[in-house]
Structure 1
Amino acid sequence: MTNIAVKLAETARSFGVGAVYGDPVEIEGQTLVPVAITWFGFGGSGSDETTSGIAGGGGGGAAIPVGAYVTQENGRVAFEPNLISLLAVSIPAVWVSGKALARIIRALKK
């Protein structure tokens, strides 16, 4: 059995900026560069080859498209957000921040 940690490290090394900014795409004379929020994680447990062969593993990730950089007619580049994705990301963040702030205020009142 090959070392899974080495394979995962090689895979993770190739992500970087390429996972957040997509390849430029030209549509109707405009160049678009897609932008996303990405994250991934891996886990695992196991044993060496001399034991009963019990092993485990796992992995997962997500990418949320948040918008694209678009070249405009005058040659300028502007960010055009994907409002639905931004709302899907920001609503839980605002909720968690509100809950945390409420607990901090409640703790300070005591």
Structure 2
Amino acid sequence: MPNLALELGEQSVALGVKSAYGEPLDVDGIAVTPVAITWSGFGAGSDGERDGGGGGGVAIPVGVYVRREEGLRFEPNLVTLLAVAVPFVWVTGRALVRIIRALKK
């Protein structure tokens, strides 16, 4: 059996930027390019008698680049922005409470 891990690694290198930036689309005369955060992992193994391998990946849409007559502009995905902002605000608030309590003592 050929080395499955090396073959999967070579295929994932080919994805690179293509997995984070989608193909530009033309929507009603406006050029739109989707943007995502992506990561993937692959693995393979053998115990002498059996071989196996697998992989997986995740893509989180973060927004689109929109090209209009006025120029290029990034428009974020509001759902992803909220999913990141809510925990960030919570952690920041907890940190500020602890800092204020420490300063009062």
User: TM-score scaled by structure 1?
Assistant: 0.72
Partner of 1:78: 73
Partner of 2:20: 20
Counterparts of 2:80 and 2:65, CA distance in 1: 15
Partner of 1:98: 91
Counterparts of 1:2 and 1:91, CA distance in 2: 47
Give, as a single letter, the amino acid of the residue that structure 2 aligns with 1:83.
L
Shift in Å at residue 62 of structure 1?
Answer: 0.6
Shift in Å at residue 91 of structure 1?
Answer: 4.0
Hey, which of these two has a bigger chunk of strand by percent?
Answer: 2
The answer to whether the 8 A contact 2:66-2:73 is kept is yes
Cα root mean square deviation, aligned: 2.5
Partner of 1:52: 49
Aligned pair partner of 2:57 in 58, 61, 66: 61
Hey, which of these two has a bigger chunk of helix by percent?
Answer: 2
Give, as a single letter, the amino acid of the residue that structure 2 aligns with 1:67.
G
Counterparts of 2:39 and 2:84, CA distance in 1: 13
Structure 2 CA distance for partners of 1:4 and 1:90, relative to 1, 3 Å: farther
Counterparts of 2:85 and 2:42, CA distance in 1: 25
Counterparts of 2:46 and 2:84, CA distance in 1: 35
Q: Deviations over 1:10-34 (max 9, x none)?
A: 1111111111111110010100011
- Structure 1, 19-28 or 82-91: larger mean CA deviation: 82-91
Shift in Å at residue 73 of structure 1?
Answer: 3.0
Unaligned runs of 5+ in 2: none
Runs (4+) of structure 1 exceeding 6 A deviation are: none
